[in-house]
Amino acid sequence: MTFKEAIRRLKKTHLRQGFGGRADRLTLVGLLLVIGLAVLVALVLPKFVYRSFVQKDGAQDTAMVALYRHPLTGMSLYEPLQELPQVFAVMVDNHEEAWPPSGIDQAFLVIEAPVEAAIPRLLAFFDSKQVVEEIGPVRSARPYFLDWANELDALYAHVGGSNAALDAIASGGTFDFNQYWWGEYFWRAGNRYAPHNVFTSTALMNEFVALRTDAGVAPERLYDVWLFKDPEPSQKESSVHVDFDGTIYTADWEYDVERGVYLRFQSDAPHLTSTGVQITADNVAVVVTDIEVLDNVGRRSVRTTGEGEAVVYQDGTMIEATWEKPSASERLKFYKRDSGEEILMNAGVTWIEVVDEFTQE
């Protein structure tokens, strides 16, 4: 029954029975408030409430557990957030001369895709409420990374960019944070060589967002969210091999059955950050799409929209999947290839590897 239908039914009931006085009117008002609250709950809570299934004596009992989830990480919350968090998307260098990186072990999402010479570049996503003192090295923009940043209405941090990327930014739609124009919110490290020496932090990005909000030019946040579940650690050994054209940048993920997470290796060694922390993920997704070399410099075109084949790894298990992103501003999502159901991502950290071909091992 819809809200309007409920009101009409209540009116008809009271017209037939008559209003006995003030008590009846208060009863009607109370019923309307209850129905309105029920409609509000039905519309708002589904994104944050999930159903848990508990096995008891061989029988399956179903219980609704009122748990709120963070819209970006899926982690459980005691109270719902009042608004969607501001997201920071930072273009992070992954050239061997830029190793080790800073801060990406604290990103809730990282998308890795090739640029020139098949060298992958990382788009690292952070919640503005996080405190990350050093993120980088920050590098230049490429057009396909804009589509992934824009689907989360993110502040996109970069140092210049290709002509195609800068033209796309100039045409609107991207919450731009270019070091060329806003150098006071970045710094260059003295122990690194250019162009692998530019860094920023969540504190500086928050200052910039406040500045642009006061100026009335910060975009409204309307992004979609994934469906999440709690990790289900297993004893299954699992690995993911992502071959970036046979270069030293080839990435490997190994499932650690003791910790219940995937450990990242690069160039046959643990992929460590500047603080010596090995990068881990709760989900590793591989997106297979069309990638084309555009010129003799090696710039690439990467198809970000539409759909294609994918593989999602979680809990030591491989899930054959498809990916879908209807438009540049809509969220990239993953679906089971056999049933078409949206895949529930493990709460925590997700890495997405973007390649033109992939062999499942």
* CATH number of residue 330's parent domain: 3.50.90.10
Distances (CA, A) of 204 to 38, 67, 257: 42, 33, 38
pLDDT at 361: 66
- 346 Cβ contact partners less than 8 Å away, ≥ 6 residues apart: 74, 228, 229, 230, 231, 282, 283, 314, 315
Measured distance CA(270)–CA(268) in Å, rounded: 7
Q: Kindly provide the b/e burial profile for residues 293-320, where b requires at least 16 CB atoms within 10 angstroms of the residue's own CB.
A: eeeeeebbebbbeeeeebbbbbbbebbe
Q: Determine the distance from the C-alpha atom of residue 91 to the mean position of all C-alpha atoms in its chain, rounded to a whole number.
A: 15
Question: Do residues 113 and 257 both lie within one domain?
Answer: yes
Q: Does a structural domain hold residue 231?
A: yes
Mean pLDDT for back-to-back runs of 10 residues, the chain (361 residues): 41 38 45 47 40 37 63 94 97 96 98 95 98 98 98 98 96 95 98 96 98 96 97 93 89 96 95 97 98 92 98 97 97 97 98 94 66
Q: Does a structural domain hold residue 303?
A: yes
Please state the domain count of the chain.
2
Q: Does a structural domain hold residue 72?
A: no
pLDDT at 65: 53
* Three-state DSSP string of the chain: CCHHHHHHHHHHHHHHHCCCCHHHHHHHHHHHHHHHHHHHHHHHHHHCCEEEEEEECCEEEEEEECCEECCCCCCEECCCCCCCCCEEEEEECCCHHHCCCECHHHCCEEEEEECHHHCEEEEEEEECCCCCCCEECECCECHHHHHHHHCCCCEEEECCECHHHHHHHHCCCCEEEECCCCHHHCEECCCCCCCCCEEECHHHHHHHHHHHHHCCCCCCCCCCCCCEECCCCCCCCCEEEECCCCCCCCEEEEEECCCCEEEEEECCEECECCCCCECEECEEEEEECCEEECCCCCCEEECCCEEEEEEEEECCEEEEEEEEECCCCCCCEEEECCCCCECCEECCCEEEEEECCCCCC
Question: Do residues 117 and 197 both lie within one domain?
Answer: yes
Question: Do residues 213 and 153 both lie within one domain?
Answer: yes
Pair 289, 308: CB distance under 8 Å: yes
What is the sign, positive or negative, of the torsion defined by CA atoms of 239, 242, 243, 248? negative
CB atoms within 10 A of CB 262: 25
pLDDT at 27: 45
Q: Does a structural domain hold residue 59?
A: no
Q: Does a structural domain hold residue 272?
A: yes
Question: Do residues 175 and 268 both lie within one domain?
Answer: yes
Domain hosting 36: range is: 3-46
Q: What is the pTM of this model?
A: 0.83
Question: Do residues 193 and 323 both lie within one domain?
Answer: yes
pLDDT at 172: 86
Question: Do residues 37 and 162 both lie within one domain?
Answer: no
Measured distance CA(116)–CA(243) in Å, rounded: 15
Q: Does a structural domain hold residue 291?
A: yes
pLDDT at 344: 98
Task: Establish whether the linkage from the previous residue to 137 is cis, with ω within 30° of 0.
Answer: yes
pLDDT at 360: 77
53: which strand partners? 62
pLDDT at 254: 98
Question: Do residues 192 and 284 both lie within one domain?
Answer: yes
Q: Does a structural domain hold residue 296?
A: yes
Q: Does a structural domain hold residue 81?
A: no
Question: Do residues 182 and 330 both lie within one domain?
Answer: yes
pLDDT at 213: 97
CB atoms within 10 A of CB 113: 23
Task: Write phi, then psi, for 140 (nearest 5 degrees).
Answer: -85, 160
Question: Do residues 266 and 153 both lie within one domain?
Answer: yes
pLDDT at 33: 55
Tokens standing for 151? Answer: 């689907």
pLDDT at 98: 96
Question: Do residues 107 and 183 both lie within one domain?
Answer: yes
Closest CA to 350 of 157, 40, 97, 122: 122
- 359 Cβ contact partners less than 8 Å away, ≥ 6 residues apart: 241
Question: Do residues 30 and 127 both lie within one domain?
Answer: no
Tokens standing for 217? Answer: 């030019």
Question: Do residues 169 and 307 both lie within one domain?
Answer: yes
Tokens standing for 108? Answer: 């809730």
